[in-house]
Structure 1
Amino acid sequence: MDSLSSFNAPAARPMSTLPASASALAVDTDLLTAIRRDIHAHPELCFEEVRTSDLVASQLAAWGIEVHRGLGRTGLVGVIRHGSSPRAIGLRADMDALPMTEHNHFPHASRHPGRMHACGHDGHTAMLLAAAQHLARHRHFDGTVYLVFQPAEEGGGGAREMIADGLFERFPMEAIFGMHNWPGMAAGQFAVCNGPAMASSNEFKITITGRGCHAALPHNGIDPVPVACQMVQAFQTIVTRNKKPTDAAVISVTMIHTGEATNVVPDFAEIQGTVRTFTLPVLDLIEQRMREIAQHTAAAFGAEVAFEFHRNYPPTINHRAEAEFVREVMTELVGPDNALEFEPTMGAEDFSFFLQQRPGAYFVIGNGDGAHREQGHGLGPCTLHNPNYDFNDQLIPLGAALWVRLAERWLGRAG
């Protein structure tokens, strides 16, 4: 494991919207900022988070926290107990990076081309570690806090794999909560919503097989290109004419591959894309109608078709009682003006698998507009999945404060 000494914490800059009491946690901010930057400099992709997992485990153990490893391959769970209550809560942070090249050049930029923490999972890990440090030192609760450090959120379904490895049987939490940073929302603010927060993520691949021929003699073949064009147009009628107008859904064709020469009608065409919905019944409808349109359109042109539809992540649907509980804690921490209503997004999140198994809620913390980035950052925007992104280190004590209050409120203060 590389030394953390080269990633020093920056001088703190004031947050105009952050109440002074919100950051009053007994955590080592310099250390945790250095850890965050170290993780940022050494990003690891889905199920490859060995170094990150080692770093998290060593810090938890140094604070006297019980550690269990190997869930979802590289995931781990820290356990903090106090008192005699059987009640338990789960707090989750994701650890993996994205397969993209960073454009930032500050000292903690990625040292591995093609890998980058462009979604802030390094910051999520640091915020939960900060909360772990405080909870281990000041056990003002009666029960158990499970610290869930999850691998492979970015397409790998690490939450699903941790569940398959017995997460909820081995660590019987009553509810589980997840937090994500949100660029564009002011630092010092949080947001949560009842019901759907993020959409399901699904992919389709349709292969149309015709019969190639000379482009000057199209009657000798079966051209798959107009078949593909007809399908793409028809798919949008599912959104506008088959589902209820009040049900949100997106069908995006993002790739069409066909042909090799301008004077040759190709043998096949391939269509790929994504479908996003907030409910499974709408997803069922879209998959069925897409399949029918693909099959019948191909048949009408005399072509053959292979239809593939892969369901990746289900929609992330917050439980009402738990979402309202989070909103109350947010309001206590930063005031009603900074505890906002989250507008659901068609992005996806595998925290959805956890919420299918246990009550809970997924919420966001404002990451600011990018002004926090140090000299040497890229010239592009500080948005998620962008090569110029960087997590706002000033959020570490604030995110930790929310985690701590959430756990203490859920379990009840002792003495």
Structure 2
Amino acid sequence: MVNLRHDIHSHPELAFAVDRTSSSLADRLEAAGLDITRNIGKTGFVATLRNGNSTRSVGLRADMDALPINESNEFAHRSTKPEQFHGCGHDGHSIMLLGAALQLAEFADFDGTVHFIFQPDEENGTGADAMIDDGLFTRFAMDEVYGLHNLPGLPVGHFAIQSGPFCSFEDNFEITIQGRGGHSSMPDKGIDPIPIAASIVLNLQTIVSRTIAPAKHAVVSITNIQTDGARNVIASNVTLSGDCRGFDNQTSETIKAHMEQIVSHTCTAQGADFTFNYSTSFVPVVNHQKQTEVCVKAVTNLPDATIDSSYGRVSFSEDFAKMLNQKPGAYILMGNGDVGEHHSRPLHNPFYDFNDQAIAYGVAYWCSLVMSAL
């Protein structure tokens, strides 16, 4: 498993272009006797394993895609491709689910059906939808669905979960302020969009705490400012963009409404026009109570593993949430390395690497989960 993980790490693939990774995993599972259905969500696939007589079935999901950034590690299995890098551990996720499928195929100790879901394009938030649109839950009967992600900073062998809202939504926005450019020595002859933009940036910071309660764990971040001005040219346009986080749909709607109100009133007061675009990239991950309890039981049945079942909310986003909107299920985090270790480098950091010592825990967890759920 370690060698194959290193091979996938050194040959990362992006978005839906995960042909090599998908084929490598599917071929191994097919050789082990699992039923393989390819091209679900373009390059995704489902491997199915049946045992016993029960009609109950569960889905286990792993993501396969990498990030469009350069890797800074210098070890032997570093990425061989520029601006393609497994900096989120999806190589490890795929390997752990593969290992669990192979182990369950050899030592079947469950009664029912397991669908192993290998998903492309999690990073852009479109892979889950693509698989669902291709009939993931209509072609493959599933009573429940489960997902997993590694977490740097959490020791190997430790797991974390909580029932209810767990991972945040991600909304994206772009605001363009349209003023009237001119010579920098005569600002009174135009409409300068830069002070208007500055006012908007400051006022957007009041949405959280003044409109939305701090206890809602919402975030509004302006991450990019661009103008078409120059040293001696007052810009005609300023574009602000960024993203917002929170844990429920009402928070998302409130942020959008108040953001548009702030932009509209500020631009109108200064005589500027504007465009405002707001969209949702990821919906929140909301774990179901019963399935969360199944996850906790699966971990407690493992020797040398521990779980925090009230871990609290995490601010990153995951498109596995779309699957949880279709079926009951739960999403769990597992340790990639304690604080201070190399493997505690954060997700999406150019020095990140999935911890090979975590593979055995992930495989064991998936197997234990199947035996707990079926």
TM-score normalised to structure 2 length = 0.97
Match in the other structure for 1:42: 11
Q: Do the aligned residues in 2 keep the contact of 1:206 with 1:305 (CA within 8 Å)?
A: yes
Q: Do the aligned residues in 1 keep the contact of 2:157 with 2:304 (CA within 8 Å)?
A: no
Alpha-carbon distance in structure 1 between the residues aligned to 2:32 and 2:344: 37
Match in the other structure for 1:181: 150
Match in the other structure for 1:384: 347
The answer as to 2:255 corresponding to 1:286 is: yes
Match in the other structure for 1:93: 62
The answer as to 2:366 corresponding to 1:410 is: no
1:329 equivalent among 298, 301, 309: 298
Over residues 254-303 of structure 1, what are the superposed CA-to-partner deviations in whole Å (9 max), with x where a residue is unaligned? 11111432222111100000011100111001101111111111111000
Amino acid at match of 2:193: P
Match in the other structure for 1:218: 187
Residue correspondence of structure 1 range 360-371 to structure 2 within 5 A: 360-369=329-338
Q: Do the aligned residues in 1 keep the contact of 2:208 with 2:219 (CA within 8 Å)?
A: yes
Are the structure 2 counterparts of residues 144 and 372 from structure 1 closer, same or farther at C-alpha, using a change threshold of 3 Å?
farther
Q: Do the aligned residues in 2 keep the contact of 1:239 with 1:249 (CA within 8 Å)?
A: yes
Over residues 68-94 of structure 1, what are the superposed CA-to-partner deviations in whole Å (9 max), with x where a residue is unaligned? 011111100000001221100010100
Match in the other structure for 2:169: 200
Match in the other structure for 1:153: 122
Moved over 4 A (4+): 334-340, 370-373
Match in the other structure for 2:24: 55
Residue correspondence of structure 1 range 289-328 to structure 2 within 5 A: 289-328=258-297
Alpha-carbon distance in structure 1 between the residues aligned to 2:360 and 2:9: 18
Amino acid at match of 1:397: A
Alpha-carbon distance in structure 2 between the residues aligned to 1:250 and 1:372: 29
Gaps of 5+ in 2: none
Aligned residues: 374
Alpha-carbon distance in structure 1 between the residues aligned to 2:124 and 2:89: 15
Aligned-pair CA distance for 1:140: 1.0
Alpha-carbon distance in structure 2 between the residues aligned to 1:289 and 1:61: 52
Q: Do the aligned residues in 2 keep the contact of 1:381 with 1:388 (CA within 8 Å)?
A: no
Alpha-carbon distance in structure 1 between the residues aligned to 2:313 and 2:25: 31
Residue correspondence of structure 1 range 217-256 to structure 2 within 5 A: 217-256=186-225
Are the structure 2 counterparts of residues 273 and 78 from structure 1 closer, same or farther at C-alpha, using a change threshold of 3 Å?
same
Aligned-pair CA distance for 1:341: 3.3
Match in the other structure for 1:393: 356
SS in 2 for 1:367: strand
Q: Do the aligned residues in 2 keep the contact of 1:88 with 1:144 (CA within 8 Å)?
A: yes
Are the structure 2 counterparts of residues 214 and 277 from structure 1 closer, same or farther at C-alpha, using a change threshold of 3 Å?
same
Q: Do the aligned residues in 1 keep the contact of 2:301 with 2:368 (CA within 8 Å)?
A: no
Gaps of 5+ in 1: 1-31, 374-379
Match in the other structure for 2:107: 138
SS in 1 for 2:157: coil
Aligned-pair CA distance for 1:336: 7.8
Q: Do the aligned residues in 2 keep the contact of 1:367 with 1:391 (CA within 8 Å)?
A: yes
Over residues 138-166 of structure 1, what are the superposed CA-to-partner deviations in whole Å (9 max), with x where a residue is unaligned? 11111100000000000142011100111
Alpha-carbon distance in structure 1 between the residues aligned to 2:309 and 2:288: 17
**What is the alpha-carbon root mean square deviation over aligned residues?**
1.6
Alpha-carbon distance in structure 2 between the residues aligned to 1:57 and 1:330: 27
Q: Do the aligned residues in 2 keep the contact of 1:47 with 1:156 (CA within 8 Å)?
A: no
Aligned-pair CA distance for 1:370: 8.0
Alpha-carbon distance in structure 1 between the residues aligned to 2:154 and 2:309: 10
Alpha-carbon distance in structure 1 between the residues aligned to 2:258 and 2:130: 31
Q: Do the aligned residues in 2 keep the contact of 1:189 with 1:340 (CA within 8 Å)?
A: no
Aligned-pair CA distance for 1:245: 3.4
Are the structure 2 counterparts of residues 289 and 370 from structure 1 closer, same or farther at C-alpha, using a change threshold of 3 Å?
closer
Q: Percent identity?
A: 44
Alpha-carbon distance in structure 2 between the residues aligned to 1:88 and 1:343: 29
Alpha-carbon distance in structure 2 between the residues aligned to 1:121 and 1:241: 38
Q: Do the aligned residues in 2 keep the contact of 1:372 with 1:392 (CA within 8 Å)?
A: no
Match in the other structure for 1:353: 322
Amino acid at match of 2:138: E
1:273 equivalent among 242, 254, 260: 242
Amino acid at match of 2:89: G
SS in 1 for 2:325: helix
Q: Do the aligned residues in 2 keep the contact of 1:315 with 1:348 (CA within 8 Å)?
A: yes
Alpha-carbon distance in structure 1 between the residues aligned to 2:135 and 2:98: 23
2:35 equivalent among 66, 78, 89: 66
Aligned-pair CA distance for 1:337: 4.8
Of stretches 300-309 and 252-261 in structure 1, the one that deviates more from structure 2 is 252-261
Q: Do the aligned residues in 1 keep the contact of 2:336 with 2:344 (CA within 8 Å)?
A: no
Alpha-carbon distance in structure 1 between the residues aligned to 2:20 and 2:40: 15
